[in-house]
């Protein structure tokens, strides 16, 4: 039997036949594995990450320490390593804060080193996929590097069938014994002589660069993250066979957002299809993965709902993205976000105009059920906007009367149009499509016109511009400008600015399974708000918006104004444009004004 070759690098050996006997030739070096480690900026701060541990970010800041109170009140999901926190080692599983250390507040000789503590945490089942984690170190000695490696390789170390645990444990035990006890007591690692010698050689290889840098006084001048990344890749080459990472897909994560109770939507880019990406991301993120956004190329996205138990489905995502995406066409064009309840994508013909961050924001908004607090805040914001715009319009009408001698109703119409246009343009900067700043889509909104006409004939085109409508705008430019200003201003305010604010608060449609709350659609709330605003102005005795001569007609006027508002809201939703609402109200107002032009009243 041939003796086992002492091989600290686990190199392959080539054999040839010579005179019938195998003769050993020079060892062939193991092929180097591709590095799984990446350095990226997150929030302006550089972090080290591993493609197989995307929920863990590593920060190495040489010499930076955290006080004990700060460490214990650190953000949840923080792991301090080997002196990064100036306190005793501790574990706070409730707040998810850990300090892996053996320097202060403990008997060093009786305490495991940081790398061994990390292994204990992993073997005890610390779930590192269920949330975001930040690992903080203030040096890059071998103990800290090994601890980082253990945490970033937690998936493989937790798998009892993976041989990597057997490969790495001797190195951890020897480093732990030396770091805690000193070189003289390395036999406490309990490694047999042959394995101890091989492990010592591996350790020397890992420490060579560190010793060289410190000998040349360059340790404090290097890029610590780059150094740690190189050492981690070196450890990979020591303990993993060459083919270990062949099946790993290099997935570039572009962003993520919370979309429900413990679930995330993750945006990424890869050179493979959605199902290969899903298989790997399921392994890396576990049950936390709810939705995948795969960016194939500029403007082309594939959506895949991984968790079927989310509070909503992809239909809600499609609806919201079609609302905010300037690249989406009309409902009948087919060039829209769509697909099945499990998989879909962006508009096929033109692609999407949304960035990755905007797509993720749309997913978050679609999957987040509107809370009572969010709805109340949205209504309060809409009411405040209405009061501010109408107050400015009333003051502007008074100024127009003093400066230009305009009648109150004419000055109000012009002032309302000007103030509402400015407020709308400022508000629509956030997302012009949500606020309806786009051309009308399709023709599905046109049937709202007859309903608006009926409402206008019953009670006028709305209390805000009802008095303006009586001015027969078809008779000339002087009457038409205030009339158009009032209609355009009121629609930009209620069907544009207020409607958009309510979409952010309530969602573009009722939450799935909440049909009883259909009255909470933004269009319905905006219609009630516009009617209430006109009634409030009339109740103040303002001559611009007079009450009916016969107060018995007030309910009829209110019903007519509400009908016009609901019709305009329907056109706004179906056309996805505030222009559709303006056209509907203009037509209804023109029908009301036509009898005056013909001398019938």
pLDDT tens per residue, range 231-285: 999 999 999 988 888 778 888 889 889 887 778 999 999 988 999 999 999 989 9
Q: How confident is the model at residue 286 (pLDDT cuts 50, 70, 90)?
A: confident
Question: With 80 as the cut, is the pLDDT of residue 15 above it?
Answer: no
Per-residue model confidence as pLDDT tens digits over 477-517:
566 777 788 888 989 999 999 998 888 787 765 444 444 34
Q: What is the pTM of this model?
A: 0.70
Question: With 50 as the cut, is the pLDDT of residue 13 above it?
Answer: no
Mean pLDDT of 333-355: 90
Per-residue model confidence as pLDDT tens digits over 413-428:
888 889 999 999 988 8
Mean pLDDT of 150-178: 91
Bridging pattern class, strands 66-67 and 85-86? parallel
Rounded distance between C-alpha atoms, residue 520 and residue 533, angstroms: 18
| Residue 465: predicted pLDDT | 47
Question: With 50 as the cut, is the pLDDT of residue 519 above it?
Answer: no
| Residue 102: predicted pLDDT | 82
| Residue 344: predicted pLDDT | 93
- Domain positions in the chain: 37-239, 252-367, 372-597
| Residue 404: predicted pLDDT | 67
190-199 long-range contacts, CB within 8 A, separation 24+: 194/6, 195/170, 196/170, 197/6, 198/6, 198/7, 198/8, 198/170, 199/170, 199/171, 199/174
Rounded distance between C-alpha atoms, residue 272 and residue 17, angstroms: 44
* Average pLDDT of the chain to the nearest whole number: 82
| Residue 533: predicted pLDDT | 85
Rounded distance between C-alpha atoms, residue 229 and residue 215, angstroms: 21
Please state which architecture CATH assigns to domain 252-367.
Answer: Roll (3.10)
| Residue 540: predicted pLDDT | 58
Higher pLDDT: 183 or 498? It is 498
Higher pLDDT: 349 or 30? It is 349
Q: How confident is the model at residue 385 (pLDDT cuts 50, 70, 90)?
A: very high
């Amino acid at each position: 039997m041939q003796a086992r070759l002492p091989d600290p690098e686990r190199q392959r050996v080539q054999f040839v036949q010579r005179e019938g006997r195998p003769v050993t030739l020079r060892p062939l070096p193991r092929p180097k594995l591709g590095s799984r480690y990446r350095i990226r900026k997150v929030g302006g701060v550089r972090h080290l990450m591993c493609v197989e541990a995307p929920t863990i970010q590593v920060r190495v800041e040489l010499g930076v320490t955290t006080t004990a109170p700060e460490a214990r009140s650190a953000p949840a999901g923080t792991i301090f390593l080997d002196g990064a926190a100036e306190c005793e080692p501790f574990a706070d599983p409730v707040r998810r804060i850990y300090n892996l250390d053996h320097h202060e507040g403990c008997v060093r000789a009786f305490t495991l080193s940081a790398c061994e503590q990390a292994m204990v945490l992993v073997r005890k089942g610390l779930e590192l996929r269920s949330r975001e984690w930040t690992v903080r170190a203030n040096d890059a000695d071998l103990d800290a590097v090994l601890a980082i490696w253990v945490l970033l390789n937690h998936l493989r170390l937790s798998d009892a069938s993976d041989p990597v645990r057997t490969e790495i444990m001797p190195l951890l035990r020897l480093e732990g014994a030396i770091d805690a006890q000193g070189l003289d007591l390395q036999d406490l690692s309990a490694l047999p002589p042959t394995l101890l010698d091989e492990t010592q050689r591996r350790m020397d290889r890992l420490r060579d660069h560190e010793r060289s840098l410190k000998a040349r006084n360059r340790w404090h001048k290097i890029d610590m993250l780059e150094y740690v990344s190189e050492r981690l890749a070196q450890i990979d080459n020591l303990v993993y066979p060459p083919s270990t990472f062949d099946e790993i897909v290099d997935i570039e994560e572009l962003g993520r957002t919370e979309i429900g109770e413990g679930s995330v939507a993750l945006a990424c880019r890869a050179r493979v299809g959605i199902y290969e990406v899903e298989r790997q991301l399921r392994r890396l993120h576990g049950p936390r993965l709810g939705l995948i956004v795969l960016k194939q190329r500029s403007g082309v996205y594939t959506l895949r709902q991984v968790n079927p138990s989310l509070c909503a489905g992809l239909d809600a995502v499609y609806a919201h993205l079609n609302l905010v995406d300037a690249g989406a066409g009309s409902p009948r064009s087919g060039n829209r976000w769509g697909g099945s309840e499990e998989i879909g994508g962006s508009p096929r013909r033109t692609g999407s105009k949304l960035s990755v961050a905007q797509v993720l924001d749309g997913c978050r908004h679609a999957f987040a059920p509107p809370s009572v607090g969010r709805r109340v805040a949205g209504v309060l914001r809409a009411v405040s906007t209405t009061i501010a715009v109408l107050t400015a319009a009333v003051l502007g009408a008074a100024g127009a009367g003093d400066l230009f001698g305009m009648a109150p109703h004419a000055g109000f119409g012009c002032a309302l149009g000007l103030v509402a246009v400015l407020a709308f343009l400022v508000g629509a900067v956030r997302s012009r499509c949500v606020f309806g700043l786009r051309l009308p889509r399709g023709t599905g909104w046109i049937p709202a016109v007859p309903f608006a006409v009926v409402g206008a004939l019953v009670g006028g085109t709305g209390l805000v511009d009802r008095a303006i409508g009586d001015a027969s705008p078809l008779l000339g430019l002087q009457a038409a400008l205030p009339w158009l200003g009032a209609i355009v201003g009121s629609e930009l305010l209620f069907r544009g600015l207020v409607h958009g604010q309510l979409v952010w608060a309530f969602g573009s449609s009722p939450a799935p399974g909440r049909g009883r709350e259909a009255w909470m659609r933004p269009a319905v709330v905006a219609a009630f708000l516009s009617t209430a605003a006109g009634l409030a102005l009339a109740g103040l005795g303002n001559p611009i918006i007079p009450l009916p001569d016969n107060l018995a007609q007030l309910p009829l006027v209110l019903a007519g104004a509400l009908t016009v508002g609901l019709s305009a809201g329907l056109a706004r939703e179906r056309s996805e444009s505030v222009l559709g609402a303006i056209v509907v109200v203009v037509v209804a107002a023109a029908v009301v004004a036509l009898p005056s032009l013909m001398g019938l009243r």
